[in-house]
Amino acid sequence: MAELYPVSEEWARRARVDSAGYDRLYGRSIADPGSFWLEQAKRLDWIKRPEIAGDWSFDEEDFHIRWFGDGKLNVAANCIDRHLTKRGNETAIIWEPDEPSEEARRYTYRELHAEVCRFANVLKAQGVAKGDRVTIYLPMIPEAAFALLACARIGAVHSVVFGGFSPEALSGRITDCDSKVVITADEGRRGGKRVPLKANVDAAAAHAPAMETVIVVKATGGDVTMQAGRDVWYHEAAAQVPAECPPEPMGAEDPLFILYTSGSTGKPKGVLHTSGGYLLWASLTHELVFDYRPGQVYWCAADIGWVTGHSYIVYGPLANGATTVMFEGVPTWPDASRIWQVVDRHQVEILYTAPTALRALMREGDQYVTATSRTSLKLLGTVGEPINPEAWRWYHDVVGGGRCPIVDTWWQTETGGHLITPLPGATALKPGSATLPFPGVDPQIVDAEGQVLHGAAEGNLVIARSWPGQMRSVWGDHERFFQTYFTTYRGKYFTGDGCRRDEDGYYWITGRVDDVINVSGHRMGTAEVESALVLHPKVAEAAVVGMPHDVKGQGIYAYVTLNAGVEPSDDLRNALRDWVRREIGPIATPDALQFAPGLPKTRSGKIMRRILRKIAEGDVSNLGDISTLADPGVVQHLVDTREGRG
Ligand code: 6R9
């Protein structure tokens, strides 16, 4: 039986929600969602308060999802302006630079207001208007937060592209949402290394004809080429505009942002989130899951390029008037003490990070942790992938000194914020379980035929009703939205995750059941890596699967069939790994690449990934039924030449 960590008496007493409180909230949210959500909506500042909560149907004939559809608000005003009278002089953002010897920078809510207004005016001066898409390709500098909020202020739709993505990946995303303006920096810094962001934008330009203007933030002072008529220095443009910009009134269902994410097939999808429901979800979950109290220093150590950075560095915390830490660097540089030093330096009380970072730090040894104080810490959080109980216990015992509850938050780019998660004053914890649904969330476990399984059960995780933070569409392809998420199990949102529910009703996410690999908490579609590989002139065919990886959770294992006459070699293997890195970005680099004269296929030509996964895992004793293969002989050959065998 799994260990149980009960809620401490102090947490039960002090927290916003205790166990009875959770039962009440959850019960009301399911029994009477209309009045429950209108009540919750009061936490936002509305220009026009909504009178309708959810209005949705997951059925094909009448498919639609709307929340607070008659409400009007501005997201940036909710994150900044409404705090000015009470907390104008309190710190909104603490920015911790890559280089530890440099001073951290702090912005009060009043300063944030001025920065965001100025940025918004620069965008307006460049012709950006309500509804226009703006691509943001920035490192983790304060301007990244300013840029998001500036878009929200004028009603432009931001699309953040992670700074680790290649020019090819960037141009695809600029083109897909037709953004005329791109915001970047001269260079980024991470772990003492420079990332040539502006040069990447220049390289992307050839394949991004929509791009007309590039706004360049001077971050490092590194050399860049400015193209006259297209490129604008941010600091020069900002000097010419006022620090006041009225917030644009937006419908609750007006788009707030697009964020591209990998699915099992095709190109990355532009996940679309709208204004009212998303902000409500980000803000409510941030307050209840982290039990956030005014004045606390809160740090989510994600990158703004991922949804975690959107919801839990920027929108959720700032909507709640929090002090949010933005960290430019990486956990392991200059050494494995960095995270804990930053915790001490800024007296961080709430820390939110990913299992992959914890595993990487754990293997460096406890001394990097115990050399620091960490007495400020009260609560720890994790996100991105299932956390193995060993890493959970290390986080709890060594990092948190046994004092801090851990909230293991399960959610997705598509869900906008946490869906299955403990509440620290309410939920007894089990290492490795995301525990129980947040109020309003109706999870079900279904079998392959869609039968709902009750009680303790294992199967696929679906969500049976809409919640305010749910994505609203795939940018430019509403049909794909419906097809991807609502056709596997009719009338339900399919998460793509496998899941077990135990006898206490706790949920245990078992990982993706589709062709998505979770590398260090980042989603990679196998199809994306395969199409990058087959672009190479020497490659005939490629199949990519996930494999277990000690630190990354999952690694990428590629099987490659070469064109006739091309000889496999170590040089070619390295060249192909580099090729993928250049096509997509470093996170997509295959960890193992095996040359395969043939791939196991059914007679109808379908690649049998089940078998490739087993070989990649090294689990070759039980390959199951291979009798349907067109040529069973290829399997033995793959087993004999497996990468990293022995
Ligand atoms: C927020 C985020 C979503 C996928 C999701 C699942 C995995 C995220 C998890 C978790 C187990 C957790 N995942 N959190 N699995 N426990 N606490 O990560 O969004 O990048 O879209 O990934 O990540 O497999 O389906 P995203």
Q: Are 292 and 350 in contact (CB under 8 A)?
A: yes
pLDDT at 144: 98
Residue 409, ligand 1, Cβ within 6 A: yes
Q: Which residue has the tokens 């990058």?
A: 532
Rounded Cα–Cα distance for residues 385 and 94 (Å): 27
* Residue whose CA is at the smallest distance from ligand 1 atom 26: 412
Taking 80 as the threshold, does the pLDDT of residue 209 lie above it? yes
Residue type, 165: F
> Residues 152-162: pLDDT tens digits?
999 999 999 99
Number of C-beta neighbours around residue 426 at 10 A: 24
pLDDT at 277: 98
Task: Point out the ligand 1 atom lying closest to the alpha carbon of residue 306.
Answer: 20
Residue 353, ligand 1, Cβ within 6 A: no
Task: Point out the ligand 1 atom lying closest to the alpha carbon of residue 261.
Answer: 21
pLDDT at 133: 98
Q: What percent of the chain has pLDDT over 90?
A: 90
Averaged pLDDT of the chain: 95
Residue type, 517: I
Check whether 412 is labelled as a binding-site residue. yes
- Model ipTM? 1.00
> Residues 429-486: pLDDT tens digits?
999 999 999 999 999 999 999 999 999 999 999 999 999 999 999 999 999 999 999 9
Taking 80 as the threshold, does the pLDDT of residue 14 lie above it? yes
Is 637 part of any domain?
yes
Residue 356, ligand 1, Cβ within 6 A: no
pLDDT at 142: 98
Cα separation values, 605 from 336, 599, 601, 608, 638, Å: 48, 10, 5, 9, 18
Q: Which two tokens stand for residue 87?
A: 């907390």
* Residue whose CA is at the smallest distance from ligand 1 atom 8: 384
Q: What's the mean pLDDT in 599-609? A: 81
Q: What's the mean pLDDT in 190-200? A: 97
Taking 90 as the threshold, does the pLDDT of residue 103 lie above it? yes
Phi, psi of 217 (to 5 degrees): -85, 130
pLDDT at 623: 82
Show the domain range for 611: 520-641
Q: What percent of the chain has pLDDT over 70?
A: 99
* Residue whose CA is at the smallest distance from ligand 1 atom 3: 412
| Reported confidence tier of residue 165, pLDDT bands at 50, 70, 90 | very high
SS3 content of the chain, % helix, strand, coil (to 5): 35, 25, 45
Is 137 part of any domain?
no
Q: What's the mean pLDDT in 544-554? A: 94
Is 623 part of any domain?
yes
509 CA → ligand 1 middle, Å: 9
Q: Which two tokens stand for residue 257?
A: 């942002």
394 CA → ligand 1 middle, Å: 21
> Residues 26-78: pLDDT tens digits?
999 999 999 999 999 999 999 999 999 999 999 999 999 999 999 999 999 99
Task: Point out the ligand 1 atom lying closest to the alpha carbon of residue 414.
Answer: 21
> Residues 474-511: pLDDT tens digits?
999 999 999 999 999 999 999 999 999 999 999 999 98
Torsion of CA 30, 33, 38, 43, to 10 degrees: 20
- Count of domains for the chain: 1
Is 421 part of any domain?
no
Check whether 581 is labelled as a binding-site residue. yes
Q: Are 258 and 270 in contact (CB under 8 A)?
A: yes
Is 32 part of any domain?
no
Is 225 part of any domain?
no
The residue ranking higher by pLDDT, 540 or 576, is 576
Is 330 part of any domain?
no
Check whether 40 is labelled as a binding-site residue. no
> Residues 124-143: pLDDT tens digits?
999 999 999 999 999 999 99
Is 583 part of any domain?
yes
Rounded Cα–Cα distance for residues 582 and 169 (Å): 9
Residue 269, ligand 1, Cβ within 6 A: no
Task: Point out the ligand 1 atom lying closest to the alpha carbon of residue 308.
Answer: 1
* Residue whose CA is at the smallest distance from ligand 1 atom 2: 412
Residue 590's CATH number = 3.30.300.30
Rounded Cα–Cα distance for residues 554 and 617 (Å): 10
Taking 80 as the threshold, does the pLDDT of residue 265 lie above it? no
pLDDT at 261: 94
Task: Point out the ligand 1 atom lying closest to the alpha carbon of residue 521.
Answer: 18
| Reported confidence tier of residue 1, pLDDT bands at 50, 70, 90 | low
Residue 514, ligand 1, Cβ within 6 A: no
Taking 50 as the threshold, does the pLDDT of residue 646 lie above it? no
Q: Are 74 and 113 in contact (CB under 8 A)?
A: no
